[in-house]
Structure 1
Amino acid sequence: MITHSLLQPQVQAATIDDAPPVWRFDHVSVSMGADHALRTLFEGVMGLETGFRPPFPFSGRWLYEGEQAVVHAIDDASLSAEAGALRFNHVAFASTQSASKVITQLQRTALQFKVARIPADNIAQIFVQLPGGFVVELDVPDDTGGPASHVYSATQGAPAAGDF
């Protein structure tokens, strides 16, 4: 005779290492020649507000929806200020998964990536270039302690498609 317990699926508790990482949308990054088009849409129409930005060595602004900086805008003198030109840079996601684990996973793939660090923070930014030049930033706690493969400067923001 089959008992009720034998009919139930056998479920084993997943360990933390087995659990898939949880990623959430963090922000989009754009470069701008002037901020009037940016401000018209993101601030004027959408109601985003300029807020805190870490001390990157290049100029820009972060626009917030509540507590979340959802648009990172970088000043770019190569874009037309007169026209208020904008260029899409990347989309970013964040996770509590460690940088070392994400880097190990990426090293098992054919994807090109660069690692940068947010100034005055313990966050590693892992920029991954997908085919076609689309760049995705993965923001994770930095547990590596190693050197960055991308260093910010007054003239160099986040890695772009041509930087890989």
Structure 2
Amino acid sequence: MPVTALHHFTIRCAPHELPPLLDFYTRVMRLTVGARPEIPAPGAWLYADGQPIVHLYAHLSTPDEPVEPVTGHVDHISFRAHGLAEMRAHLRAHGVAFAEAPIPGWAIHQLFLHDPRGLKIEMTFWMDQEDRQGGKGGTA
């Protein structure tokens, strides 16, 4: 049986990092807080199009299990998005710096930014006529 999609990713953080991460992913990335099972640690499940795609998990560290990342080397997480010009304006309005990367020969345009913990976020826009319009420039 083949893998068919990425279901979600989890960002583990210290409890004091949860509020700024929750703010970033809801205000800047426009995800919505949704239903979450009763898990003993603080956190949130963030939804896009009715699907829980980002899980925030505030790890309650102990001496035996510190909060430090232990799961490897993720370079970035990519979200599919639409409305490139609107997203540029939205990021600028929230003071979020970003870089742009059109993909030569493909109808794809990418924006790169970072969340409050430094995780690189890619936003991938499949370009249609509406998205091909609008100015570029990526610093807030």
When normalised by structure 2's length, the TM-score is: 0.39
When normalised by structure 1's length, the TM-score is: 0.34
